[in-house]
Chain A
Amino acid sequence: MNNPKEVTRILFENFHPQAIHLFYAFGYASIAVFIYGCYVQIRKYRRGKPDGSWGELLHRFIDMVKTMATHRTLVRRDKSAGRAHGLIFLGFVLLFIGTSTITLEYDIIEPLIGVRFWYGNFYLWFSLVLDLAGLGLIGGLIYMMYRRKWLHLPKLDYKRVDRQLGGADIDRSEYRREDWAFLWSFILIGVTGFILEATRLVWLSGRPSVWDYRIWSPVGALIAHIMKFVGFTPEGAGTLRLGLWWFHGLLSLTFIAFIPYTKIKHIFTAAASLMFKDPLAGRRLPRVPDEQKVAGYKTITDLTWKNLLHLDACTKCGRCQEACPANAVGAPLSPRDVILSLREFANHTLNAKELPKEAELDIHGKDIGQVFMETLWSCRTCLACVEICPVAIEHVPIIVQMRRNLVEAGEMDPLLEKTLQTIHKTGNSFGESKRKRASWVKELPFRIKDARLEPVDFLWFVGDYASFDPRNQKVTQGFARLMKKAGVDFGLLFEGELNAGNDVRRVGEEGLYEYLATANIQSLDDCQFKSIVTTDPHSYNTIRNEYPDFGGTYEIQHYSTVVKKLIEDGRLPLAKKLNYKVTFHDPCHLGRFNKGYDAPRDILKMLGCELVEMGRTKDNSFCCGAGGGRIWIPDPVGIEKPSQNRMKEAAVIEGLQIFVVSCPKDLTMFEDALKTSGYEGKFIVRELIELIDECMEYDFPEKEIAEEKMVVETHSVI
């Protein structure tokens, strides 16, 4: 090796001192503009309300680094885009570290303590790594350009779905232009970087300490050879280099200055958003403090700083929109549009030095940046958007907070209003007398314990649909038989049970939710039991995740877990095997909300069924349309319902016999959709409990004839 100290990259060689000063001036200016931009953004976030996500910072930070390093959330459901982004990300990070290393030596360590390290072997490896990083960066960017130009992905069409054609802000083409400006400027920085490297090699090809080590910057060397081949002299290359050097340098500095003002800021906002991710987002909604006058979000400053940060983190990738059931059936809602509208609104109102008047901060309405009431009411709070967002944006809490405000103002569907009043009056959404809640037990050939009077192992929280809906009562009775057969010690709250409140809360009627939750907690606290069990995933979610905020912490299990264990333990012997070809629909509140994907599938296998998955399954399950209180709001006629869309998806499965659900609302929604979507007779919809029930042999004293009949019916349809 030559003198290792000489093996390094020249900086500012042959530059006039004035030129160097000029460059530094640009550098400082760019950093100043950058810092000011960051200041304005932070000032914007600080105009939001406080948020409690500050705990466990170290833990959060490690999680964030893991997510970013693995790109886990980015490769999900879109491998190529995720990997391309990975290359850009890695390239950028390495090049950034590289440039910082040079600055560290040249501007800080060497002038201060006279130590150098950027030479010799370290320099050579450094140079190789950065060359490859640059190559990856350019490769990733080229794929992104290809994707934007030729793949015509619907999710990259920013045209709003929540506005009528002809509206002022419908096409959002400025976002498209921004994307392209970003891609071009970034790729130009990369390409000029390489050519610059090549010109340096050609220019200094007479110096062995440079030319002999060219293989350590392979891309630059390749270009250098080409340049030599086409006849570049060292002097010519030197001249070209000077011009290019300024172009590359100024472009890079401008790029840095632009970060806080453009989509590039997602480097920071997305990272922060990931860091402050709430694993229970949407599963446990925020409480409204008692002293707060008006519930929910009315103005942009009602949002918390974290919400405001989320708005800026969105990269418009469209994955949420693609997963959204409301969007799929043409409802005026796209989770991305909600986020972008509010972002535009926040930038418009909160970036200024002075906060505008209260009236100008209203986020509800029909103006640019405001969110339509129809949009908010279209949401089924299914969490598909929150689940897939690669940067951990939490749409649903924002949507529900905004609905809370609509509820307070009475801006809701009249039928929904009626239902809420009914629930307040009777404690259930069916408007039935409290006394009738457990009337389904009368048809059973055995007695069920009253958990209010005697201790039980399992307290069964039944839920409204399973209690009052005649079709679901059959399933409920089936589950009672299973529990009885297995000899489980269980009991009910009977008329002491009220609607669990999960959907009431997601509608946004927080006061009613508090009333229901506290009443139920009181009843539960008065009983003695080891665990709660329920067949209703909605009740399951709110009792499991939300009751603790109101002082009710219980162990609760969905029936699928309990029954799976009972079968495994031999307490529910299967008298026969079912050979049905089935598919399984994950209920949002069991699957995505609470990760209960496996137990129902395991049971299906134990029963002998052949399980064929639908395209959208598990975490990408497609909501039946009943969530978020939408079961109480009639769907518009003439457009497809999410449940019908789902039937279409299931019907694709060759030879499908049974569409299995494990949620009372699903049973109602899909049995209806089966008829209206024209697949009746092709396959049937059944609750998992009914299939288990079919495999049982009971020896209860009476009523077996009725059971037989039900089973026969099941067969005859198939």
Chain B
Amino acid sequence: MKILVAVKQVAALDEDFEIRADKKDVEEDFLLYDLNEWDDFSLEEAMKIKESTDTEVEVVVVSVGPDRVDESLRKCLAKGADRAIRVWDDAIEGSDSIVISRILAEVAKKEMPDMVFAGVQSSDQAFSATGISTAAYLNWPHAAVVADLQYKLGSSSAMIRRELEGGMLQEVEINCPAVLTIQLGINKPRYASLRGIKQAAAKPIEEVALSDIGLSAADVGAGSSMSRVRRMYIPAKGRAQMIEGTIAEQATKLIQIINEFKGA
């Protein structure tokens, strides 16, 4: 039995950041990298399955990204993942989430897992598309925003609860293998102690090139993507004003402002 967990190293903004000269991203110096918060939960869900049984369950984490991503993968290994795979080629730079999911799908085809978990979304880009499009490339059943998972090892289906808008839950039976995107709060992710992370350095991180999964530079990158970043900027700040005084005074002031706006 094998579970593939797709993870991402996300960027967080430092205070007082600057936009890159080409205006397409934030200057790298001002970014702090860490494992995507959702991925803590999807990895934990996989680990829970692994630890609930005596049968051999292999948890493999996979990520698409440059060298620096190894740090986040090591954190996953420290939490108990058995193996890590990192796919990279400079040509991948600029790929949108659909292209990334194509890469992940190719890895999944090679690994042949019984389940694929991904986070609902990444905290930096927030596309919420990668997990689901991976399912599309694999042509597997999928469920998004999973808040509860009941899965018996080796069973051909799983019971899940999906979170809908307005606090509603939807209970779904899904055929396996499947791709699930996992929601925050589904479990309590474990802590990866720093010693654990250091010791995980001994576990292997397999570096995979495009050719290893049957892709070429032409299949990836901005050129093969259906969306491209044109510009990144800080929007002009809106104005806000506190209206003070009694209710009547406030109302008068408000009417005055509205009239000014209309008149202008």
Contacts and interface: CB of A to CB of B under 8 A. Distances in A.
Interface of A: 288, 293, 295, 407-408, 410, 412, 417, 420-421, 424-426, 432-436, 509-512, 514-515
B14 interface: yes
Interface of B: 14-16, 32, 34, 190-191, 193-199
Contact of A407 (B14, B32, B34, B193): B193
Nearest to B199: A293
B15 A511 contact: no
Residue among A412, A511, A515 with the most chain B CB within 10 A?
A511
B191 A433 contact: no
A295 B191 CA distance: 14
B191 A511 contact: no
Nearest to B17: A433
The 8 A-B residue pairs with the shortest CB-CB distance in the complex, in nearest-first order: A511-B194, A511-B195, A410-B191, A433-B15, A512-B194, A410-B190, A433-B14, A408-B193
Given A433-B14, A433-B15, A435-B14, A407 B198 contact: no
Given A424-B194, A434-B14, A511-B195, 6 more contacts: A295-B193, A410-B190, A433-B14, A509-B193, A511-B194, A515-B194
A642 B206 CA distance: 52
A407 B191 contact: yes
Contacts of B34: 425
A237 to B, nearest CB: 74
Contacts of B198: 511
B11 to A, nearest CB: 12
A412 B191 contact: yes
Contact of B32 (A412, A420, A425): A425
A443 B198 CA distance: 40
Contacts of A515: 194
Given A433-B15, A435-B14, A435-B16, A426 B32 contact: yes
Residue among B16, B191, B196, B198 with the most chain A CB within 10 A?
B191
Contact of B191 (A420, A436, A510, A514): A420
A288 B32 contact: no
Given A407-B191, A410-B190, A425-B32, A511 B14 contact: no
Nearest to B14: A433
Nearest to B78: A511
A509 B32 contact: no
Nearest to B16: A435
Nearest to A504: B194
Residue among A288, A421, A433 with the most chain B CB within 10 A?
A433
A435 B16 CA distance: 9
Nearest to B32: A425
A408 B34 CA distance: 20
B3 to A, nearest CB: 20
A509 B16 contact: no
B32 A514 contact: no
Contacts of B195: 288, 295, 408, 510-511, 514
A82 to B, nearest CB: 43
Contacts of A433: 14-16
Contacts of B199: 293
Contacts of B194: 424, 509-512, 514-515
Residue among B14, B193, B195, B197 with the most chain A CB within 10 A?
B195
17 contacts: A293-B199, A295-B193, A407-B191, A407-B193, A408-B195, A408-B196, A410-B191, A410-B193, A412-B191, A426-B32, A435-B14, A509-B193, A509-B194, A511-B193, A511-B198, A514-B195, A515-B194
B196 A435 contact: no
B189 to A, nearest CB: 9
A369 to B, nearest CB: 26
Contacts of A421: 191
B191 A417 contact: yes
A436 B15 CA distance: 8
Contacts of A420: 191
Contacts of B32: 425-426
A568 B199 CA distance: 52
A171 to B, nearest CB: 36
A433 B190 CA distance: 25
B185 to A, nearest CB: 12
Contacts of A408: 193, 195-196
A124 B190 CA distance: 75
A511 B197 contact: yes
Nearest to A416: B191
Nearest to A512: B194
Nearest to B195: A511
Nearest to A511: B194
B164 to A, nearest CB: 27
A591 to B, nearest CB: 31
A511 B16 contact: no
A293 to B, nearest CB: 8
Nearest to B194: A511
Contacts of A410: 190-191, 193
A510 B194 CA distance: 8
A432 to B, nearest CB: 8
A421 B195 CA distance: 13
B102 to A, nearest CB: 31
B26 to A, nearest CB: 14
B74 to A, nearest CB: 12
Nearest to A414: B188
A302 to B, nearest CB: 15
